[in-house]
Chain A
Amino acid sequence: MAYELNTVTALIVEDNYPMREITKALLESFGVGTVVVANDGEEGLHQYKKTNPDIIILDWMMEHMNGLTFTVQIRNDKTGPNPYVPIILMTGFNEENRVKEARDCGITEYLAKPFTAKTLYSRVTQVIERPRPFVQSEDFLGPDRRRTKTTEYGGPLRRHDDVAPLPPYARPANLPPEDIVLVDA
């Protein structure tokens, strides 16, 4: 049995054409049924409302509207189809302060560029298998910025905020543990 990704719609918002095309090709090779692309945040918002994607893969730095502004709009737009849509942010930044900045805007996962097929897959499995609870406060709506690290504990989960470890199939071989969880509090 394998993921049936053919019914999934993914939206890629990326202003760099080669990166956009290779990300699209990767998702299609994973079996994603519909991949919609947008050249910047504004076009991305239009496509988001039009296609109601199941997952968004987003570049950070774009002209007109950057990825963080895009994310804040998605999370707070009451007319949008799904403020909880998982958002994977792709960026060349990997400094901790940048990760926190992105996390505080409501992204779900962080994907450092350049990336491999396995790291992209690992982020996709994270949003499928370990979706974050959402937090709504006066100044924030987005995925809970804390995430319990995966442990080898195999017993029952009794606390309401227990997080189950990833199933083996969602854990690509040869991927270091720290590559799985980048957005820890």
Chain B
Amino acid sequence: MTAMTTDLHHPPTPNAMHYNQPQRRRARFYNPPNTLKQKVGAGGLSADILDKAQQLIENNAVDIRPWAEIQLERIRNYAQKAEDGLIDAHQEEEIIQSLLHASMQLKANGGMFHYPLITKIADRLLHFLEVVERLDADALEIVMAFHTTLQAVLHGQVKDADTPHARALLDALVGACTRYFKRNAINEE
């Protein structure tokens, strides 16, 4: 692709017309100069380099537990705040967003630092929080069940996500979420 302009902030306007009428709501398409390609050339990276890079992930010595404990503490505190009541709908939504944030952090980082089971469990919690409408007592109980399970995985340093025990844990949590939504039928039209 070639650049149509060298002025980064004022791209050109094509004179497009439809049905013999001038465009009123204009969307301009243009190709910025691909300076990155010009710099790096061609050829990619060798499989050897990628293998070595992957080894950096697999052999990293980061102990994620202290950081993960902070996320779990946040989840517990937000759940407690919701359980204590005295929050309006806006605050409740803020708490859900905060719970989402902490869960997403656990999901994103668990698998990068030797805890793929944390990623799988946090992913299910994330799915629950993405769709739950209210943080009622039952919903909070589910959030805390996830919290307790995540804490147990962390304290037990359970790193293998493909054991029967790990699958049973996940199934139990997903089952609780499924039963919650059957009871509450949030998406019922």
Residues of A near any B CB (own CB < 8 A)? 1-5, 7-8, 16, 18-19, 21-22, 25-26, 29-31, 54-55, 61, 78, 82-84, 86, 90-93, 95, 113-118, 120-121, 125, 127-129, 131, 133-138, 144, 167, 169-170, 172-173
Q: Which 7 A-B pairs have the closest CB atoms?
A: A169-B44, A114-B111, A92-B108, A117-B53, A113-B108, A1-B43, A84-B32
In the complex, which residues of chain B have a beta carbon less than 8 angstroms from the beta carbon of A7? 39-40
Find B32's partner among A78, A91, A131 (CB 8 Å cutoff).
A131
Q: How far is the CA of A136 from the CA of B117 in the complex (A)?
A: 43
Q: Taking the complex as formed, is B90 at the interface, i.e. its CB lies under 8 A from any CB of chain A?
A: no
If over half of B's interface residues share one DSSP class (helix, strand or loop), that class is named, otherwise mixed; here it is helix
Known A-B contacts A16-B105, A169-B42; A121 and B126 likewise in contact (beta carbons under 8 Å): no
Determine how close the nearest CB of chain A comes to the CB of B180; give it in whole angstroms.
19
Q: Give the residue among B27, B52, B57, B126 with the most A Cβ atoms within 10 A.
A: B57
The number of chain B residues touching the other chain, given as a range, is 35 or more
Contact status B36-A127, CB under 8 Å? yes
Assembly CA distance A78 to B30 (angstroms): 17
Contacts of B119 in A (CB 8 A): 114
Q: How far is the CA of A60 from the CA of B87 in the complex (A)?
A: 27
B44–A19 contact, CB under 8 A? no
Instruction: Using CB atoms and an 8 Å cutoff, list the residues of chain B in contact with chain A.
Output: 1, 8-9, 11, 25-32, 34-37, 39-47, 49-54, 56-57, 60, 62, 64, 67, 101, 104-105, 107-113, 116, 119, 122-123, 126, 130
B27-A113 in contact (CB<8A):
no
CA distance A31 to B116 in the complex (A): 28
CA distance A93 to B101 in the complex (A): 10
Beta-carbon contact of A121 and B67 below 8 Å: no
13 residue pairs from A and B, CB less than 8 Å apart: A18-B62, A22-B56, A26-B53, A30-B49, A92-B104, A92-B108, A95-B130, A115-B112, A117-B50, A127-B36, A131-B31, A137-B25, A144-B29
The answer to whether A114 and B108 have CB atoms under 8 Å apart is yes
Note all chain B residues with C-beta closer than 8 A to A55: 36
Evaluate contact between A22 and B40: CB separation under 8 angstroms.
no
Instruction: Assess whether B31 is in contact with A117, with CB atoms less than 8 Å apart.
Output: no
B50–A133 touching, CB < 8 Å: no
- Chain A residue nearest to B116 in the complex (CB): A114
Which residues of the partner chain B approach A128 to less than 8 Å between Cβ atoms? 34, 36-37, 40
CA distance A76 to B113 in the complex (A): 36
Q: Which residue of B lies closest to A168 (CB)?
A: B44
Min CB–CB distance A154 → chain B (angstroms): 18
- Say whether B57 contacts A134, CB under 8 Å: no
> Please, how many angstroms separate the alpha-carbon atoms of A114 and B28 in the complex?
36
Residue of B nearest to A26 (CB): B53
A53 CB, min distance to chain B CBs, angstroms: 10
**Nearest chain-B residue to A59 (Cβ)?**
B108
